[in-house]
Amino acid sequence: MLLTISTNHEPATDLGYLLHKHPDRHQTFDLSFGRAHVFYPEADTDRCSACLLLDVDPVGLVRGKGNWKDGLLDQYVNDRPYVASSLMSVAISQVFGSALAGRSRERAELVETPIPLTARIDVLPVRGGEDLLHRVFDPLGYSVSATQHPLDEKFEDWGESPYYSVELEQATTVAQLLQHLYVLIPVFDQRKHYYVGPDEVEKLLAKGESWLADHPERGLITRRYLKKRQSLVRQALARLVEEDVSNADEDQEVDDLAAPEEKQRELSLHEQRLGAVLAAIRASGAKRVVDLGCGEGKLLRELLADHQFTEILGMDVSVRSLEIAHRRLKLDRLPDMQRQRITLMHGALTYRDERLANFDAAAVVEVIEHLDPPRLIAFERVVFEHARPRTVVLTTPNREYNVMWESLPAGKVRHSDHRFEWTREEFQSWANRIAERFNYIVRFLPVGPEEAEVGAPSQMGMFEAE
Ligand code: SAH
């Protein structure tokens, strides 16, 4: 099976720097299931093509598997050596690992610049026909052409095979193209996967981070990628959705449940929360502030109004929320001086991100309860270890207070997307643990009207780096 990536970006031979493979050399890599060859059939300044050829050893593929269910012969005589399948994804990640991660020492800028690229796959088994190719690749901006191969050229009436030569074309980055191929090639091939385990979810999310959540076929892609393993599929979809929850319906949901006078209280609660966060950030003396999980930009608006803050960054995983924030803050109409103070950025708090470094203060308002507990661990390191602002102001609901909302059924969380809601003790013990581990000092403040027994509806932790 053969994957050919071509460009006519000038100089086209830059493709060699982007793939970390020299155009003049033929290189061979040993993989657990065979060998991969990389070579360039053409390498001129106006056009350059790199090929990844897999030489699959069908014996190596089954060695040690001890799985005789499919019959002995079937294990050795099959289409695996000839088609692009999950083996191709494995090869992409092992042979083009740096390119897949978007790294290039020599061409750092080009890594992020879309260039005209074509990927040709010979051949892709498409269970689902040409229509499926379009449903999957069109929304990602590719122009797709596909040629279906007959089962056997000598026997016309045997009809068509499920095998296609596929060509995808788009101006994009090499990293993005490889990420799409990495996730999507196995989606077309419904045969046995090279490997489907729990960490497959991580791989899917890592490679699909920026585009899968918004893809209209994300359900199909996830199901097929994970081979319909229900538990994995549910987990992956939940995480994708979690990351695209707009806070548009955040307070709405409690509002719907609440009686009118409670509605009033809930509305002002969010204002009180923002007021408390803003006061804490002001008091820290911060100039450069990042709002992590900024949603539709309510806090950003307050930050923008205060000239103490010279640089403001809003970050969220939901593109939809960012678009709403952009509109509400009227960023297009701000005078230049104001406009330069604020940036909105798409990103996930569960992945280390260098753009978050060097801020004086970070706000994390009503965000952590949207993270699955295992992802919370990633979040902790991303924020407190890598981004490491001097001040972190973080709020989360206080579960004890939920009894005060009569219309909230007992034991229910305030919002269907909340993965957890903590009591004051749970929050404080988590925050103390974080502070100790990452060398911060933390103080706590209730937010909203305090009741003797159950405390206030929201709770805030203020972390200062030691
Ligand atoms: N801070 C805002 C929004 C709170 S709602 C406010 O107080 O108004 C929670 C926000 O967290 C949503 O906008 C959601 O998209 C975002 N979010 C959830 N998971 C995230 C993640 N992993 N990375 C970044 N943002 C995330």
pLDDT tens for 93-104 read 889 989 998 888
Q: Which amino acid is at 436?
A: E
Neighbours of 58 (CB within 10 A): 16
Q: Does the beta carbon of 189 lie inside 6 Å of ligand 1? A: no
**Start-to-end C-alpha separation, the chain:** 56
| Distance in angstroms (rounded) separating the CA atoms of residues 389 and 358 | 7
pLDDT level of residue 417 (50, 70, 90 thresholds): confident
Q: Does the beta carbon of 317 lie inside 6 Å of ligand 1? A: yes
> Quick one: pLDDT at residue 24?
92
Question: What is the arithmetic mean of pLDDT over 417-427?
Answer: 92
- 148 Cα to the center of ligand 1, angstroms: 44
What is the number of the ligand 1 atom nearest to the C-alpha of 349?
23
What is the number of the ligand 1 atom nearest to the C-alpha of 274?
7
| Distance in angstroms (rounded) separating the CA atoms of residues 64 and 244 | 41
Among 209, 350, 370, the mutation site with the greatest number of ligand 1 atoms within 8 A of its Cβ is 370
> Quick one: pLDDT at residue 421?
93
pLDDT tens for 107-136 read 888 888 999 999 999 888 887 788 899 999
- pLDDT above 90: percentage of residues in the chain: 51
CATH T-level fold of 2-195: c-terminal autoproteolytic domain of nucleoporin nup98 (3.30.1610)
Neighbours of 455 (CB within 10 A): 20
pLDDT at 453 over 60: yes
- 366 Cα to the center of ligand 1, angstroms: 7
- 318 Cα to the center of ligand 1, angstroms: 8
Q: Looking at domain 269-465, which CATH architecture does it have?
A: 3-Layer(aba) Sandwich (3.40)
Question: Higher model confidence: residue 388 or residue 227?
Answer: 388
**259 HSE (CA, 13 A, CB side):** 5
Q: Does the beta carbon of 300 lie inside 6 Å of ligand 1? A: no
Q: Does the beta carbon of 418 lie inside 6 Å of ligand 1? A: no
Query: What are the angstrom distances between the C-alpha of 271 and each of 264, 274, 276, 404, 453?
Result: 11, 5, 9, 19, 23
Structure tokens at 1: 């099976």
Indicate the domain borders of the chain.
2-195, 269-465
Among 301, 300, 297, which residue's Cα sits nearest to residue 325?
297
Among 274, 313, 316, the mutation site with the greatest number of ligand 1 atoms within 8 A of its Cβ is 316
Among 125, 181, 177, 169, which residue's Cα sits nearest to residue 148?
125
pLDDT tens for 143-185 read 999 988 776 667 667 667 778 999 999 999 999 999 999 888 8
SS (H, E, C) the chain: CEEEEEECCCCHHHHHHHHCCCCCCCEEEEECCEEEEEEEEEECCCCEEEEEEEEECHHHHHCCCCCCCCCHHHHHCCCCCCCCCHHHHHHHHHHCHHHHCCCCCCCHHHHCCCEEEEEEEEEEECCCHHHHHHHHHHHHCCEEEEEEEECCCCCHHHCEEEEEEEEEEEEECHHHHHHHHHHHHHHHCCCCCCCCCCHHHHHHHHHHCCCCCCCCCHHHHHHHHCCCCHHHHHHHHHHHHHCCCCHHHHHHHHHHHCCHHHHHHHHHHHHHHHHHHHHHHHHCCCCEEEEECCCCCHHHHHHHCCCCCCEEEEEECCHHHHHHHHHHCCHHHCCHHHHCCEEEEECCCCCCCHHHCCCCEEEEECCHHHCCHHHHHHHHHHHHHHHCCCEEEEEEEEHHHHHHCCCCCCCCCCCCCCCCCECHHHHHHHHHHHHHHHCEEEEEEEECCCECCCECCEEEEEEEEC
Centroid of chain to Cα 135: 21
pLDDT tens for 250-269 read 333 333 333 333 334 444 67
C-alpha angle with apex 252: 361 to 269, nearest 5 degrees? 50
Is the Cβ–Cβ distance between 53 and 37 less than 8 Å? yes
**339 HSE (CA, 13 A, CB side):** 8
Q: Does the beta carbon of 321 lie inside 6 Å of ligand 1? A: yes
> Quick one: pLDDT at residue 425?
96
C-alpha angle with apex 190: 32 to 170, nearest 5 degrees? 85
Q: Return the biggest CA–CA distance within the chain.
A: 85
Is the Cβ–Cβ distance between 363 and 281 less than 8 Å? yes
Among 259, 258, 276, which residue's Cα sits nearest to residue 415?
258
Average confidence score pLDDT of the chain: 83
pLDDT level of residue 249 (50, 70, 90 thresholds): very low
Is the Cβ–Cβ distance between 463 and 441 less than 8 Å? yes
- 294 Cα to the center of ligand 1, angstroms: 6
Among 317, 368, 414, 419, the mutation site with the greatest number of ligand 1 atoms within 8 A of its Cβ is 317
**What pTM value is reported for the model?**
0.50
pLDDT at 67 over 70: no
Structure tokens at 319: 């593109």
pLDDT at 246 over 90: no
Question: Higher model confidence: residue 243 or residue 420?
Answer: 420
> Quick one: pLDDT at residue 258?
34
Q: Does the beta carbon of 83 lie inside 6 Å of ligand 1? A: no
Query: What are the angstrom distances between the C-alpha of 159 and each of 20, 22, 156?
Result: 42, 42, 6
Structure tokens at 242: 């979690």
- 293 Cα to the center of ligand 1, angstroms: 4
Residue identified by tokens 């260039």 is 115
- 415 Cα to the center of ligand 1, angstroms: 13
